[in-house]
Structure 1
Amino acid sequence: MREARRQDDLDRQWLGDATRNRPSFAEAEILDREGVPACHTWKVPAGEVPPHLSGAQALRRWQAGACAICSARPERLLVDHCHRTGLIRGLLCTSCNTAEGLGSAPAFAAYREHPPAVMLGVEEEYGSPWDGFAASVANVSERNAAHVDAAEALFGDIVGRFRISQGDS
């Protein structure tokens, strides 16, 4: 019990006021139009992430239930990761997680270029019960790159035909 309190105190000390004065969902919409994800306006905690926190735990504490792109506060956030490297980038609401994978909007590009994990200086592999938690980054990267390539091959033609049919109308 005492150890848990000590860790909570370390978390609070590390976070300080970094979770205060964040943009609302409406303010984040304006930022999005300017190509800025909400997380790029957040204060980054000073100092090192407490050693008892994993990268994902540090993100959860710092994001404090807010989506890194739109500032929405859904019941749960999804762990977003890079499919090429296998590394966690940040926590997103379902809408932003879906749109980020499909979108090339400036806010998504800025998020991918400088995600919350980079902002905090944490690096953690994405893992799930389906693909294994202990896979090496090299194996995850190779597998994820193959999945991305397969998806692009599978859906690339469909997207291309959709764009052509939209332009014909």
Structure 2
Amino acid sequence: MIASRGGLCRIRPAARPIHVDHRHGTGRVRGVLCFNCNSAIGKLGDDPDALRRAISYLEGQPWKPILIGPGAYRLPS
């Protein structure tokens, strides 16, 4: 699997992939990642919305929840 990717991490091509990434709920393999990318995804709970908010934060556009009622918020998409 690593050889088929040319020895490149699927997220950061400059890094060497050494971890097989998978969905924790199903065990389905997604690809090979370097240690840092695999850890980052895991620490964000495999949550695409958390990753999108992290990207917005890094780009200088932090997300803001939308108030929809007293004490009830909706996250922007």
> Structure 2 length normalisation: TM-score?
0.52
Q: Which residue of 2 aligns with 1:105?
A: 51
Task: Number of aligned residue pairs: give it.
Answer: 48
| Residue 84 of structure 1, aligned match among 7, 18, 25 | 25
SS in 1 for 2:2: helix
Deviation of residue 80 (structure 1)? 0.5
Out of 94, 98, 104, the residue aligned to residue 35 of structure 2 is 94
Q: Relative contact order (C-alpha < 8 Å, sep 6+): which is higher?
A: 1
**RMSD (Å) for aligned C-alpha atoms:** 2.1
Measure the CA separation in 2 of the matches of 1:98 and 1:61.
Answer: 21
| Separation (CA, whole Å) in 1 of partners of 2:22 and 2:34 | 13
**Distance (Å, rounded) in 2 between the aligned partners of 1:84 and 1:62:** 25
Larger Rg computed on CA atoms: 1
Q: Which runs of 5+ in 2 are unaligned?
A: 45-49, 53-77
Cα distance between partner residues in 2 of 1:71 and 1:77: 12
Q: CA offsets, 1:69-90, max 9 Å, x none?
A: 111232x520011110011110
Give the structure with the larger helix fraction: 1
Structure 1 gaps, min length 5: 1-58, 107-169
Show the counterpart of 2:3. 61
Runs of 4+, deviation exceeding 3 Å: none
Give the aligned residue type for 1:62. Answer: S
